[in-house]
């Protein structure tokens, strides 16, 4: 058995849609997630990046078992998550917790912090009230809050503090994997750094794994050990985050990282070659989904859909330019080093 | 000497709540000068007064808010004392705005044509075929494909990126001298954001319009702006040329902000600004940043710092502003992501 904590194999999620016409309608489907495979190791952070509509949040929903996959498997410690029932499912929910983007929407305004954080313990453990309260105080301190905060309501806290409470809730029952869906995006820059460093410290201390989902490339690259780049439901590149962010290989990854804003003035990046906008997921382009916007598109790209192929021991890329055995020419930001 | 395009001197905007018993200074003593040509950026955390300052410029403040001191000079003419009727002639014609959310700033009931033509119709008295041609060329200049067809459509028929470009076309419609863009790309995807910023740059080159960018994103400042004003708790704490501030910020908040942003390809720990921004209705005595400042000294807690001019055009409000190099180098050696770590270009 591999020592991955979470393995995702050939995951698919299609949503049926009805296209309304005057007389009857035709059935179509949105392929929100299409044949995605990756794994997350113990104590590892895997980052998923991509633009809106690329399917990254759908993957979060599938991993959290909010929705069932259309096909493919999610294995947690070797067990197929879709088959879990009863106690085993309860244990899975205890092990896999989520922190969402909006700390204003994700905490019940009617509950005190003690009950928000303690609820998970009341469900999953046989702790007494006193033990739950003690544990709540413990995790609050773990995330840099004070035990006295347990008495207060969410509205008494700022966005950054609320996000700490959400993290405390996720960790209260010793979760093994946190799904962090845009967990710092809603926070101010100065507060974001606090939460990012907190997440890093917690991982070092507790060995918890993260699935970090975001659109801010620098933050995802900073937090993650490995990243997967998604485009229209597919993974186009997976690899070590430093390698992917400094020497992206897939033309979409290159465009994405070239579009990223510089961290200081004069950080000249190559001019942007990608044109247009993401096409509708209802009408996917034939062949490679990126080919209509790709500066390197060849005949084969509109006919044959490329699959993820290893380009090194740690990297997989789905692009015909890669399988042709040559690297994409001329658009290699790291070459400037 | 011609006066600067836009000059703001000691602007103070206050919100009065609970019958005037609670006064919130959302913009206090904010000054900046906007020469023709370059782009100015204003950064800071939410609630620091960035948006309030901009709304003060065009006098679109919500009820209860009021400019209580200072002046806004557009080509030497003070706007703060103008009657509302005259201010209407300034808005859209001289100063236009692009707002954050193109969903909320476009009217869903009117076609794109109706919305883009309005400023040109009212302020430039364009009519008929000339007006139509104006709208067509505006849509073309913000790269809306097939403008003739698109101008008959409604906002809901367009993607977010297109809607934001249409907001840009509306702002340009009456050929204003200054455009204030308040977080114009926050709701856009990364590749669309890059396209939009390139587009604004091109428009500025072609039309000579002045741009004021309000943003919380230092990346936008680094990419698009020539000068920057860093705001904290309603005050401009540091201002100057972008490159100067990124290389040697002399206000601890500005420097800490720069160090708290992750750099692509670097895993260096981020600089962490402890604590929370203060409540604007209950500011600490002395320097507002003092409770969170790594360099805090006794006098910071008692006396508000002076505005020091470090080099011509580079100002910071801090007792420790005088000196060279990033002000936090003393407490965070080598930790500055923006200052020391290599990114893709080094």
More confident residue, B196 or A49: A49
- HSE, side-chain direction, 13 A CA sphere, residue B250: 25
Mapped onto helix, strand or coil, the DSSP state of residue B265 is: coil
Which of A196, A215, A246 is opposite residue B189, by nearest beta carbon? A215
Tell me the chain B residues in contact with residue A277 when contact means C-beta distances shorter than 8 Å.
Answer: 159, 161-162, 192
Q: CA B296, CA A239: separation in Å to the nearest integer?
A: 43
pLDDT score for A333: 42
Q: What superfamily does domain B38-55+82-228 belong to in CATH?
A: P-loop containing nucleotide triphosphate hydrolases (3.40.50.300)
Burial of B315 (0-12, 13-18, 19+ CB in 10 A): buried
Tell me the chain B residues in contact with residue A197 when contact means C-beta distances shorter than 8 Å.
Answer: 269-270, 272
Are B329 and B340 in contact by the 8 Å Cβ rule? The answer is: no
Where are the domain boundaries for CATH 3.40.50.300 in chain A? 4-224
Q: Which of A174-183, A263-272, B67-76 has the highest mean pLDDT?
A: A174-183
Tell me the chain A residues in contact with residue B200 when contact means C-beta distances shorter than 8 Å.
Answer: none
Nearest chain A residue to B260 by CA distance is A193
Are B27 and B48 in contact by the 8 Å Cβ rule? The answer is: no
Q: pLDDT band at residue A273, thresholds of 50, 70 and 90? A: low
pLDDT score for A24: 61
Mapped onto helix, strand or coil, the DSSP state of residue A202 is: helix
More confident residue, A276 or B285: B285
Mapped onto helix, strand or coil, the DSSP state of residue A163 is: helix
- Residue spans per domain, chain B: 38-55+82-228, 246-330
Q: pLDDT band at residue A65, thresholds of 50, 70 and 90? A: very high
Please tell us whether the domain made up of A4-224 is placed in CATH 3.40.50.2000: no
Which of B219, B223, B273 is opposite residue A190, by nearest beta carbon? B273
Which of A160, A333, A336 is opposite residue B276, by nearest beta carbon? A160
Q: Which residues contact A104 (CB under 8 A, 6 or more apart)?
A: A154, A159, A162, A186
pLDDT score for B9: 82
Q: CA A107, CA A59: separation in Å to the nearest integer?
A: 22
Q: Where are the alpha helices (DSSP H) in chain B?
A: 50-58, 84-90, 102-105, 112-124, 128-141, 147-150, 160-172, 190-207, 218-224, 242-247, 252-259, 298-302
pLDDT, average across residues B254-259:
91
pLDDT score for A45: 97
Q: CA A130, CA B257: separation in Å to the nearest integer?
A: 41
Q: pLDDT band at residue B29, thresholds of 50, 70 and 90? A: low
Query: How many A×B Cβ pairs under 8 Å?
Result: 138
pLDDT tens, residue by residue, B48-88: 777 788 888 888 887 778 888 888 888 888 888 889 899 98
Tell me the pLDDT of chain A averaged across its residues: 88
pLDDT at A330 over 70: no
Query: Strand pairing partners for A14?
Result: A31
Q: CA B226, CA A194: separation in Å to the nearest integer?
A: 29
DSSP 8-class letter at A45? E
pLDDT at A334 over 50: no
- Give the range among A193-202, A293-302, B156-165 with minimum mean pLDDT: B156-165
Q: What is this structure's pTM?
A: 0.83
pLDDT score for B236: 86
Q: CA B327, CA B331: separation in Å to the nearest integer?
A: 9
Nearest chain A residue to B278 by CA distance is A158
pLDDT at B136 over 80: yes
Verify whether the Cβ–Cβ distance B256 to A197 is below 8 Å.
no
Nearest chain B residue to A244 by CA distance is B265
Which of B159, B261, B269 is opposite residue A263, by nearest beta carbon? B261
More confident residue, B139 or A28: B139
Q: Which residue has the tokens 């020469």?
A: B35
Are B118 and B131 in contact by the 8 Å Cβ rule? The answer is: no
Verify whether the Cβ–Cβ distance A256 to B191 is below 8 Å.
yes
pLDDT score for B101: 77
- Give the range among A7-21, A60-74, A107-121, A219-233 with minimum mean pLDDT: A7-21
H or E element, residue A154: none
pLDDT, average across residues A239-256:
92
Verify whether the Cβ–Cβ distance B263 to A268 is below 8 Å.
no
pLDDT score for A206: 94
* Chain CA centroid to CA B311, Å: 23
Best of A53, A193, A254, A335 to disrupt the B interface (most B CBs within 10 Å) is A193
The CA R_g of chain A, rounded to the nearest whole Å, is 21
Mapped onto helix, strand or coil, the DSSP state of residue A94 is: helix
Give A73→chain B minimum CA distance, Å: 30
């Amino acid at each position: 058995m591999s020592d991955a904590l979470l393995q995702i194999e050939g995951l698919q999620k299609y949503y049926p849609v009805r296209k309304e016409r005057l007389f009857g309608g035709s059935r179509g489907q949105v392929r929100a997630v299409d044949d995605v495979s990756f794994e997350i190791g113990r104590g590892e952070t895997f980052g998923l990046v991509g633009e809106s509509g690329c399917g990254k949040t759908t993957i979060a929903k599938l991993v959290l078992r909010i929705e069932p996959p259309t096909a493919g498997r999610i294995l947690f410690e070797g067990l197929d998550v879709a088959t879990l029932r009863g106690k085993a499912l309860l244990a899975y929910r205890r092990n896999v917790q989520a922190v969402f983007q909006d700390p204003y929407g994700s905490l019940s305004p009617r509950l005190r912090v003690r009950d928000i954080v303690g609820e998970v313990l009341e469900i999953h453990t046989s702790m007494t009230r006193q033990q739950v309260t003690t544990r709540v105080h413990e995790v609050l301190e773990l995330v840099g809050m004070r035990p006295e905060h347990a008495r207060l309501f969410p509205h008494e806290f700022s966005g950054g503090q609320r996000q700490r409470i959400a993290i405390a809730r996720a960790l209260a029952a010793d979760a093994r994997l946190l799904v962090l869906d845009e967990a710092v995006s809603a926070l101010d820059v100065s507060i974001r750094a606090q939460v990012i460093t907190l997440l890093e410290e917690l991982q070092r201390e507790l060995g918890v794994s993260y699935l970090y989902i975001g659109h801010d490339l620098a933050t995802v690259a900073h937090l993650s050990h490995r990243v997967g780049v998604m485009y229209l439901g597919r993974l186009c590149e997976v690899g070590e985050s430093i390698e992917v962010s400094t020497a992206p290989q897939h033309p979409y990854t290159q465009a994405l990282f070239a579009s990223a804003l510089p961290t200081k003035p004069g950080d000249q990046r190559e001019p942007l070659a990608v044109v247009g906008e993401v096409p509708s997921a209802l009408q996917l382009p034939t062949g490679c989904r990126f080919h209509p916007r790709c500066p390197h598109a060849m005949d084969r790209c509109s006919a044959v859909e490329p699959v993820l192929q290893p380009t090194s021991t740690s990297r997989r890329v789905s692009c015909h330019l890669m399988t042709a055995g040559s690297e994409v020419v001329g658009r290699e930001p790291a070459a400037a080093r | 000497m011609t006066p600067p395009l836009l000059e703001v001197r000691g602007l103070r905007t206050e919100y009065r709540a609970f019958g005037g018993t609670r006064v919130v200074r959302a913009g206090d003593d904010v000054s900046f000068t906007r020469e023709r040509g370059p782009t100015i950026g204003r950064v800071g955390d939410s609630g620091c007064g960035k948006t309030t300052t901009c709304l003060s410029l065009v006098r679109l403040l919500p009820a209860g808010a009021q400019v209580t001191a200072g002046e806004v000079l557009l080509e030497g003419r003070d706007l703060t004392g103008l009657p509302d009727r005259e201010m209407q002639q300034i808005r859209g014609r001289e100063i236009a705005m692009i707002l954050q959310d193109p969903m909320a700033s476009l009217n869903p009931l009117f076609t794109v044509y109706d919305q883009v033509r309005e400023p040109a119709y009212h302020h430039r008295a364009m009519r008929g075929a000339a007006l139509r041609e104006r709208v067509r060329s505006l849509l073309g200049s913000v790269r809306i494909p097939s403008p003739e067809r698109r101008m008959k459509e409604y906002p809901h028929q367009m993607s977010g990126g297109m809607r934001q470009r249409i907001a840009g076309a509306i702002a340009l419609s009456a050929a204003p001298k200054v455009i204030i863009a308040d977080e114009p790309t926050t709701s856009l995807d990364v590749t669309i954001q890059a396209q939009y910023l390139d587009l604004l740059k091109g428009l500025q080159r072609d039309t000579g319009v002045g741009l004021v960018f309000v943003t919380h994103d230092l990346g936008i400042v680094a990419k698009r702006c020539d000068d920057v004003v860093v705001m904290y708790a309603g005050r401009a704490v540091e201002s100057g040329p972008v490159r100067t501030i990124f290389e040697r910020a002399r206000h601890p908040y500005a420097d800490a902000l720069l160090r708290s942003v992750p750099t692509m390809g670097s895993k260096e720990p981020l600089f962490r600004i402890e604590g929370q921004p203060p409540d604007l209705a209950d500011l600490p005595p002395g320097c507002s940043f003092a409770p969170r400042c790594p360099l805090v000294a006794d006098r910071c807690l008692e006396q508000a710092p002076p505005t020091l001019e470090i080099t011509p055009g580079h100002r910071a409000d801090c007792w420790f502003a005088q000196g060279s190099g990033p002000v936090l180098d003393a407490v965070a050696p080598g930790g500055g992501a923006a200052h020391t770590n290599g990114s893709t270009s080094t």
